[in-house]
Chain A
Amino acid sequence: MSAPSATAASTARGPGRVLVAVYAVFALAASARAGVQLVRDWHEAPLAYALSGLAAVVYVVATLALARGWRVVATAAVSVELVGVLVVGAFSLADPAAFPRATVWSAFGQGYGYVPLVLPLLGLLWLRHTRPRPTEPARSTFEPA
């Protein structure tokens, strides 16, 4: 996959690099954790562990998309992540019995210092900040011959 320019993709430069780094840490942690849970302890809490698996996939996709500048994929993954943390967070508080084992998104990511809640918000803001603007008001339409 080719980035738009010879250097890093626009979403992976400057502050974006920090975002990609934090996403990468979460992708790694969530994948490892979900892998162990799904393979070994699946029967203990199928719903919670299926959600852990989903969260891991979303983090991996978001990391790759932000790093390579796939804006549409990144926006979709980060949006799914935001919906996931809000829905799972609300349900885990409303009906704790349905989530006997913690997921990354339980209680709005409390177990991870609420980073899972803040990360998608920062991601969407960053994608908005770096969006391509084809018609900039400051740009002159005059083309020298």
Chain B
Amino acid sequence: MGAWWASPPDGGCRAGAATSLWTVVIPLALTVVILALALAAWAGVFAVRDRAVVLRQLWGAAVVEGALLVQAVVAIVVAVSGTQVHDAVTFWGYVACSLIVLPIAAAWAFAERTRWSSVVLVVAAVTVAFLQWRLLQIWGAA
């Protein structure tokens, strides 16, 4: 259990290319966390005001999903370039989960036109942010 934020992982990551990738990974993850929490806050305000999810929020969710897709591509590139993650099965499980959470919440936003669709979007966005934290933990322990 090393401090993942303190230093890049050294196992298989001594090559210059992989180290520069590490400088991409953390800012990208932080971006996803900030965007996801912003979306959660936006949906939270709607939930409190007894309003259903609106289309603009789904565009916001699409932005988060886009960042997640970029991250998945980066993860694949890092894996293909030879960096081994400590716990590969869990890692790819989290990557896959984080990609499907928001689309499901968006589909429900169309089906449930009450404040509860906003609450579901809060749950989904917070789940995405939490998964980022876990992803960084696993990635950092490589």
Residues of chain A at the chain B interface (Cβ within 8 Å) = 8, 13-18, 21-22, 24-25, 28-29, 32-33, 35-36, 40
Contact = CB atoms under 8 A, between A and B. Distances in A.
Interface in B70-87: 87
23 contacts: A8-B111, A8-B112, A14-B112, A14-B116, A17-B108, A17-B112, A17-B116, A17-B117, A17-B120, A18-B120, A21-B104, A21-B105, A21-B120, A21-B123, A21-B124, A22-B123, A25-B101, A32-B97, A33-B90, A35-B89, A36-B89, A36-B90, A36-B93
Contacts of B90: 32-33, 36
Closest 6 CB pairs of A and B: A32-B93, A18-B119, A21-B120, A14-B116, A36-B89, A21-B123
Given A18-B116, A32-B93, 18 more contacts: A14-B112, A14-B116, A15-B119, A17-B108, A17-B112, A17-B116, A17-B119, A18-B119, A21-B104, A21-B108, A21-B120, A21-B123, A25-B101, A25-B123, A25-B127, A28-B97, A33-B90, A36-B93
- Tell me the dominant secondary structure on chain A's binding face: helix
Contacts of A28: 97
Nearest to A113: B130
| Size class of the contact patch on chain B | 10 to 19
Given A18-B120, A21-B105, A25-B123, A13 B112 contact: yes
A82 B90 CA distance: 26
A24 B120 CA distance: 11
A46 to B, nearest CB: 19
Given A8-B111, A33-B90, A36-B89, A18 B97 contact: no
A40 B89 contact: yes
A14 B101 contact: no
Nearest to A36: B89
B20 interface: no
Nearest to A25: B127
Interface in B89-133: 89-90, 93, 97, 101, 104-105, 108, 111-112, 114, 116-117, 119-120, 123-124, 127
